Amino acid sequence: MICPYCRHDETKVIDSRTNAEFAIRRRRECLACNRRFTTFEKIEELPIKVIKKDGSRVPFNREKIREGLEKACYKRPVSENDIETLISQVEAEVYENFEREIPSRMIGEQVIEHLRKLDQVAFVRFASVYREFKDVNDFVAELGSMLKERTQK
């Protein structure tokens, strides 16, 4: 590793830690100037392609999930940290279970399952757009299944 201060190419690792985003944080010290700096290592993965409803393929983009969640969670007691955690959970599931391609439908269903546990109003908002509810009967059917689950608990 090259020191960002003196450009010397020998450093030692003082501390290493992993985080939830599959990255390794390393604290390093330059053997020439003795200054310390932090580096992050992330596994380079082949980008997963999302198969859209029309059959087209686009790269997986966690920001698209964020946009949908922010709309669904607007004026709800859901923090940015909650949204980030949900996105990280969905992303981890995608990379754990799929190698090259995933249907957009499966990503949406994963988001819905996590959102159902986080905030039920945001869940209904997201589901109404994602599942393309046509009329009030679609809302009633979804709410009926939620109420049925609640009474079973």
Q: Which two tokens stand for residue 57?
A: 């393929």
Position 132 pLDDT exceeds 80: no
Which of the two residues, 56 and 123, has the higher pLDDT score? 56
Residue count (the chain): 153
Residue 125 pLDDT: 86
Question: DSSP string covering 68-112, please?
Answer: HHHHHTTTSS--HHHHHHHHHHHHHHHHHH-SSEEEHHHHHHHHH
Rounded to an integer, what distance in angstroms lies between the CA atom of residue 108 and that of residue 101? 14
Express each pLDDT in 28-75 by its tens digit: 999 999 999 999 887 766 788 999 989 999 999 999 999 999 999 999
Residue 11 pLDDT: 95
Position 153 pLDDT exceeds 70: no
Residue 56 pLDDT: 95
Beta strands 36-42; 49-51: pairing state: unpaired
User: Which pTM does this prediction carry?
Assistant: 0.62
C-alpha 107: how far from chain center? 10
- Among the residue ranges 24-28, 56-60, 127-131, the one predicted with the least confidence is 127-131
Rounded to an integer, what distance in angstroms lies between the CA atom of residue 89 and that of residue 69? 13
Q: How many CB atoms lie within 10 A of CB 99?
A: 9
What's the DSSP call for residue 25? E
C-alpha 130: how far from chain center? 17
Q: What is the mean pLDDT of the chain?
A: 87
Residue 86 pLDDT: 93
Q: What percent of the chain has pLDDT over 70?
A: 95
Q: How many CB atoms lie within 10 A of CB 125?
A: 19
What's the DSSP call for residue 46? P
